[in-house]
C-alpha cells in the first residue's frame, strides 16, 4: 500500500521560501492535467484539464491547450473538485468552546435577542489554528454565522486563503440568521410568542424607510427594535440576502416559509431536522434548506422525525439542499463526510457534491467566485487522491485563488512530535 504524504514539498522546503513560492504561484499559469474533473456546473470530465492563470480558472475541459510556461500538475488517477464549502461554521469565531475569551459568536444580552446589526465576522480571527486544519482537508470556503438570539445577526462567507479578513472575505453580509426553534432565544416563550415577535420586528423593518424621518424628528411611537437593527434588516427586506431561520419541527418550518411569503423575503432553513416531512412545500417556496446527514436521534420533542434520509428526500422533492453539519470549528473539516453519509442514505453522489459546493455558494450569492470549476471563477479547488467523501481519501493539493494553502497544522506538529516516544522537545516538530 502506498504511503501518501500530505506535504510532499514541506519536508524539504523551509517555510520562508514556501511563502515566497506560493506568492509567485498566483501569478503563474497552472495546468492540472489528467484527473477526473468534477466541475459541478456540468458533467464530470475524465482525463480533464483545469487551467489556472493569476488565481482564476481560465479553462476546464478535455482538450485544453496548455501554454508552454504553465506549471503542470499531474492529476492522473486523482479527482479534482471545487473546494468544499461548509456553509455554517464558527471557524475563526471559536478556538476552544469552553474558553469564553476565544468564543465570539453572539450578542450577549443586548437588544433583547434582536441584534441584526451584529456583524459576526468582525470578530473573525485569521490566526485561528483551526483554519489550517480545515483547509488541509479540502474545505476552502466557509460561512461564518452568529448563534443565539431571535435574530442574532449577519453572517459572511470567507475563503480560507492566507491573509487578513479583508483578503479572505468573499461577501458580508451574506445572510441574516434567526432562530425560532426549540433552541430559540427564550425557552420560556411559547412558539406563538416567538413568531409574533419575529413578525413585529420584520414589519417594523419593512416600514422603517418611511418611518425613519419621523423617528429622527422624535415624532415616532416606540419601535419594535433598535434603529440600527432595523437598518441592518433592509437587505433582507429588499431580497438581497436570505433570512436563514433555524428550526426543526415540521410545523415550525412551515411557519418560517409563511413568514417569508408574507414579507416577500428569501428564507433559508437551517437545522431543519423534520424538513423531509414538508419537502414539497420547501421545494415550492424555492427556499434553501441546510441539513446534516448524521442525525437520526429524537433528541428533543422538536426532532422526533429525525432521519438520515432527510437530505435525500429533500433533494428528490426538488428542494435546494445544502449539506451542513453542526456549527463546529474543530470539525468544520468533516462536512465532506456528512455528504458521504447522505449518499449512503440515498442522495445521488452528484447532488451531494453540489450540496457542499455550488448550492451553498448560490445561497450566499458567491457562485460567481466559488463552488464550481468554470472559466472566470476563483481557482479555489482541490486535488483529491480519490472520491472526496471517502474515508481513505486525502486532499493532496488545496488551492485558494490559485495558491496552495496546505501547511502543517498545529495537529500535524503534535503528531510529528509524538510519533516517536519519548518525544524530543528540542527538535523542531
Partner 1 sequence: MRAFIPLLLGASAVGCAAQQPVPAPAPRPALTAADSTPKVSPGAGALSLPNADPFPSTYRPFAVRTTVLRNATIMTAAGPTLRGASILLRDGKIAAVGMNLDVPSDATVIDGTGKFVTPGIIDTHTHLGVYPAPGVEALSDGNEATSPSTPNVWAEHSIYAQDPQFPRALASGVTTVQVLPGSANLIGGRGVTLKVVPSRTVRGMKFPGAKYGLKHACGENPKRVYANRGPSTRMGNVAGWRAQYLQAEQYRRRWDRWLADRKGEPPARDLNMETLAEVLRGNILVQWHCYTANDMEGAMEVADEFGFQIRSFHHGVEAYKLADLLAQKGISASLWSDWGGFKVEAMDGVRANIALVHAAGARAIVHSDDASGMQRLNQDAAKSITEARTLGIDISEDEAIRWLTANPAWALGLEDRVGTLEPGKNADVVLWSGTPFSIYSRAEKVWIDGAMLYDRLNPASRWRTDFELGFVPETEGGR
Residues that bind partner 1 (CB under 8 A): 1, 3-6, 95-99, 130, 277, 294-301, 303-305, 307-309, 329-331, 333-334, 337, 340-341, 343-346, 389-394, 411, 414-416, 418-419, 421-423
3-state secondary structure of 250: helix
Decide whether 3 or 16 has the Cβ nearer to partner 1: 3
Give the shortest CB-419-to-partner 1 separation in angstroms: 6
Residues 327/88, Cβ–Cβ less than 8 Å: yes
- Using only C-alpha atoms, the chain has a radius of gyration, in whole angstroms, of 23
Q: Can you tell me the distance from the alpha carbon of 372 to that of 78, in angstroms, rounded to the nearest whole number?
A: 17
Q: Can you tell me the distance from the alpha carbon of 46 to that of 419, in angstroms, rounded to the nearest whole number?
A: 38
Would you give the end-to-end CA distance of the chain in angstroms?
Answer: 26
Give the shortest CB-291-to-partner 1 separation in angstroms: 14
Q: Please say whether the dihedral angle defined by the alpha carbons of residues 184, 325, 139 and 102, taken in this order, is positive or negative.
A: positive
Give the shortest CB-415-to-partner 1 separation in angstroms: 5
Q: Where are the beta strands (DSSP E) in 109-192?
A: 139-144, 151-159, 169-179
Residue closest to 373 by CA, chosen among 61, 94, 98, 125 = 61
Give the shortest CB-296-to-partner 1 separation in angstroms: 6
Decide whether 262 or 350 has the Cβ nearer to partner 1: 350
Q: Which three cell numbers stand for residue 218?
A: 422624535
Residue closest to 178 by CA, chosen among 228, 235, 77, 247 = 247
Give the shortest CB-81-to-partner 1 separation in angstroms: 16
Decide whether 19 or 344 has the Cβ nearer to partner 1: 344
Decide whether 69 or 424 has the Cβ nearer to partner 1: 424
- Phi/psi at 125 (nearest 5 deg)? -110, 100
Decide whether 212 or 416 has the Cβ nearer to partner 1: 416
Decide whether 347 or 367 has the Cβ nearer to partner 1: 347
- Phi/psi at 288 (nearest 5 deg)? -70, 140
Decide whether 140 or 334 has the Cβ nearer to partner 1: 334
Give the shortest CB-61-to-partner 1 separation in angstroms: 29
Give the shortest CB-331-to-partner 1 separation in angstroms: 6
| Residues in the chain, total | 429
Amino acid at each position: 500500500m502506498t504511503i501518501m504524504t500530505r506535504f510532499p514539498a514541506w519536508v524539504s522546503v523551509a517555510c520562508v521560501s514556501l511563502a515566497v513560492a506560493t506568492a509567485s504561484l498566483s501569478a503563474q499559469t497552472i495546468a492540472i492535467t489528467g484527473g477526473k474533473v468534477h466541475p459541478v456546473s456540468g458533467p464530470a470530465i475524465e482525463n480533464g484539464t483545469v487551467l489556472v492563470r493569476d488565481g482564476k480558472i481560465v479553462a476546464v475541459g478535455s482538450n485544453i491547450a496548455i501554454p508552454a510556461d504553465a506549471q503542470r500538475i499531474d492529476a492522473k488517477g486523482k479527482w479534482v473538485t471545487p473546494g468544499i464549502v461548509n456553509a455554517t461554521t464558527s471557524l475563526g469565531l471559536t478556538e476552544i468552546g469552553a474558553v469564553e475569551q476565544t468564543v465570539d459568536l453572539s450578542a450577549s444580552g443586548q437588544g433583547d435577542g434582536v441584534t441584526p446589526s451584529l456583524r459576526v465576522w468582525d470578530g473573525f480571527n485569521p490566526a485561528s489554528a483551526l483554519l489550517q486544519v480545515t483547509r488541509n482537508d479540502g474545505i476552502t470556503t466557509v460561512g461564518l454565522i452568529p448563534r443565539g438570539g431571535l435574530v442574532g445577526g449577519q453572517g459572511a462567507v470567507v475563503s480560507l486563503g492566507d491573509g487578513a479578513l479583508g483578503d479572505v472575505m468573499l461577501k458580508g453580509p451574506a445572510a441574516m440568521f434567526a432562530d425560532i426553534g426549540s433552541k430559540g432565544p427564550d425557552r420560556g416563550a411559547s412558539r406563538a410568542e416567538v413568531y409574533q415577535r419575529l413578525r413585529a420586528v420584520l414589519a417594523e423593518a419593512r416600514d422603517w424607510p418611511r418611518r425613519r424621518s419621523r423617528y429622527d424628528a422624535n415624532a415616532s411611537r416606540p419601535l419594535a427594535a433598535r434603529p440600527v437593527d432595523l437598518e441592518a434588516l433592509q437587505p433582507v427586506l429588499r431580497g438581497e440576502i436570505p433570512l436563514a431561520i433555524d428550526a426543526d419541527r415540521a410545523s415550525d418550518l412551515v411557519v418560517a416559509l409563511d413568514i417569508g411569503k408574507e414579507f416577500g423575503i428569501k428564507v433559508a432553513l437551517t437545522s431543519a431536522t423534520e424538513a423531509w416531512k414538508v419537502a414539497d412545500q420547501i421545494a415550492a417556496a424555492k427556499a434553501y434548506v441546510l441539513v446534516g446527514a448524521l442525525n437520526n436521534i429524537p433528541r428533543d420533542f422538536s426532532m422526533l422525525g429525525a432521519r438520515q434520509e432527510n437530505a435525500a428526500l429533500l433533494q428528490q422533492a426538488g428542494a435546494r439542499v445544502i449539506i451542513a453539519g453542526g456549527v463546529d470549528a474543530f470539525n468544520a473539516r468533516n462536512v465532506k463526510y456528512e455528504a458521504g453519509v447522505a449518499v449512503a442514505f440515498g442522495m445521488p453522489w452528484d447532488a451531494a457534491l453540489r450540496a457542499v459546493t455550488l448550492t451553498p455558494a448560490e445561497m450566499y450569492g458567491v457562485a460567481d467566485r466559488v463552488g464550481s470549476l468554470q472559466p472566470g471563477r476563483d481557482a479555489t479547488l482541490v486535488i483529491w487522491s480519490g472520491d472526496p467523501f471517502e474515508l481513505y481519501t486525502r486532499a493532496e493539493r488545496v488551492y485558494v485563488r490559485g495558491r496552495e494553502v496546505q501547511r502543517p497544522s498545529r495537529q500535524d506538529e503534535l503528531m510529528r512530535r509524538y510519533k516517536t516516544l519519548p518525544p524530543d522537545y528540542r527538535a523542531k516538530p
